[in-house]
Copies of this chain bind each other. A is one copy, B any other.
Amino acid sequence: MALLVEKTTSGREYKVKDMSQADFGRLEIELAEVEMPGLMSCRTEFGPSQPFKGAKITGSLHMTIQTAVLIETLTALGAEVRWCSCNIFSTQDHAASAIARDSAAVFAWKGETLQEYWWCTERALDWGPDGGPDLIVDDGGDATLLIHEGVKAEEIYEKNGTLPDPSSTDNAEFQIVLTIIRDGLKTDPKRYHKMKQRLIGVSEETTTGVKRLYQMQANGTLLFPAINVNDSVTKSKFDNLYGCRHSLPDGLMRATDVMIAGKVAVVAGYGDVGKGCAAAMKQAGARVIVTEIDPICALQALMEGLQVLPLEDVVSEADIFVTTTGNKDIIMVDHMRKMKNNAIVCNIGHFDNEIDMLGLESFPGVKRITIKPQTDRWVFPDTNSGIIVLAEGRLMNLGCATGHPSFVMSCSFTNQVIAQLELWNERKSGKYEKKVYVLPKHLDEKVAALHLAKLGAKLTKLSKDQADYISVPIEGPYKPAHYRY
């Protein structure tokens, strides 16, 4: 794809796959709105007062139908928005084009190369010569990373004129990041500094991104305030758990049509994502084996009747392998060689190094047969036996299906909107330092409350007497901070 920015008739920039899918995208956005009561409530509650008036927001987050509803909630509250996806396979092209046509500057398509991916990220951050966005909505932390790396490089460059050297790293993706920064330095050696200057803060969506933020906080290198949306209960315990419970089987079925019942499924990791995946596989009739490093999570798996064993012990008897760890080097090419013919290997975690794709691709004599996009059969030369890898080892639920369903994303994204509002509203108060924050519990509870009526639920109300007895306010919050749900 030629990397040229296009413009709508109104002059808004974009780069998407196929603008003719905008109508289809719009129809699905309208369906999704009905399933996203939290976001729609935000529009009703905050829309009239236009709280984001003047705010420039950059988003780096899977450009899906659900994200479209998020973006249009931000714009309905007054914001100007630029957007890219945070994964090369996760864009839904009809969503991207509907938003590009109607609401915001979008740079995203399904099946970007890594080169294209970072070009899109750069575009989403590019608000012109006055610096970048006021706020970032991040997922995985790539937008945040780019700014941090940019600032670091500019400092070194300022100090001694040294440019970043892409060949200094083995990591193919990081080479691209360094190249982009290097090339940018030549045209504007203060670009990322100006961004840093302007930036009020970031709200981060996912475990992986949050981990990076806490590391930067610990190292003292965090450049702006961050709200950890991932650890809102209504995010981590909903999107991660119930979202994956829905989208793992969805991805498996769309990619392979395989019958899950009767199969042996190995789920690597039993955190929230792993719990959702294991539940989905068990409910679909598979026998589930969990791999874990953490004895507490392992004991939880056992209490649900799941077996807990190391991958080595089960690699040759399982039919489906899903990684959910957020770690790297979970399924190596040596594991894959021992698997049954047509064993399915996929990763529902954020990055593509949970599965040793590099080892697989470079295995001597290995043959890749693409069944359909995101579904490849890799055949080993010696055994003539193959395995099926989904979405090239990346987020399989977004690569092979449509990701998490609207309702659960409404929880996550309502947290995002509330976090963005909080950062924006407090931009001058000094309330937020260069640290990582979580949303206060009453906002977390509010997000949940906004989603109950849609499901026909009615809460019980505390009496004054009861509230006093358990020492909570009648209107909440109802639980101490450490409560685990």
Which residues of chain A have a CB within 8 Å of any CB of chain B? Answer: 24, 27-28, 31-32, 34-35, 65, 211, 214-215, 231, 233-234, 236-238, 241-242, 245-246, 249-250, 253-254, 256-264, 272, 282-288, 291-311, 313, 317, 326-329, 341-342, 369, 371-372, 377, 388, 401-402, 405-408, 411, 438, 444-446, 448-449, 451-452, 455-463, 465-466, 469-471, 476, 478-482, 484-485
Contact = CB atoms under 8 A, between A and B. Distances in A.
Contact of A302 (B262, B310, B471): B262
A322 to B, nearest CB: 15
Given A406-B258, A460-B291, A299 B238 contact: yes
Nearest to A482: B231
Given A455-B262, A459-B295, A371 B310 contact: no
A485 B341 CA distance: 32
Copies in the complex: 4
Nearest to A470: B327
Nearest to A479: B294
A114 to B, nearest CB: 20
Name, among A34, A246, A388, A465, the residue most crowded by chain B CB atoms within 10 Å (CB to CB): A246
12 contacts: A242-B259, A246-B259, A261-B408, A272-B484, A286-B305, A293-B460, A293-B476, A296-B445, A310-B460, A327-B466, A329-B463, A484-B484
A229 to B, nearest CB: 14
A71 B446 CA distance: 45
B371 A31 contact: yes
Nearest to A28: B371
A306 B65 CA distance: 28
Contacts of A287: 305-307
A302 to B, nearest CB: 4
Given A310-B459, A445-B295, A484-B485, A405 B259 contact: yes
A298 B459 contact: yes
Given A242-B261, A299-B452, 16 more contacts: A28-B371, A31-B377, A215-B471, A231-B482, A260-B405, A261-B304, A261-B407, A282-B305, A292-B460, A296-B448, A296-B479, A308-B457, A310-B459, A313-B458, A329-B465, A438-B482
A326 B446 CA distance: 23
A245 B195 CA distance: 52
Contacts of A34: 341-342
B371 A327 contact: no
Contact of A485 (B231, B300, B444, B461): B300
Name, among A264, A297, A303, A466, the residue most crowded by chain B CB atoms within 10 Å (CB to CB): A303
Contacts of A469: 327-328
Given A238-B303, A262-B302, A452-B308, A293 B461 contact: yes
B298 A242 contact: no
A288 to B, nearest CB: 8
A318 to B, nearest CB: 10
Name, among A257, A298, A310, the residue most crowded by chain B CB atoms within 10 Å (CB to CB): A257
Contact of A478 (B24, B293, B461, B479): B293
A476 B485 CA distance: 23
A388 to B, nearest CB: 8
B457 A257 contact: no
A463 B329 CA distance: 9
A25 to B, nearest CB: 11
Nearest to A471: B215
Given A211-B470, A254-B254, A459-B308, A303 B285 contact: yes
A469 B183 CA distance: 29
B460 A401 contact: no
A485 B372 CA distance: 37
A301 B238 CA distance: 11
Q: Which 8 pairs from chain A and chain B are nearest by CB?
A: A259-B405, A283-B283, A308-B457, A295-B448, A295-B449, A259-B407, A484-B484, A294-B478
Nearest to A288: B305
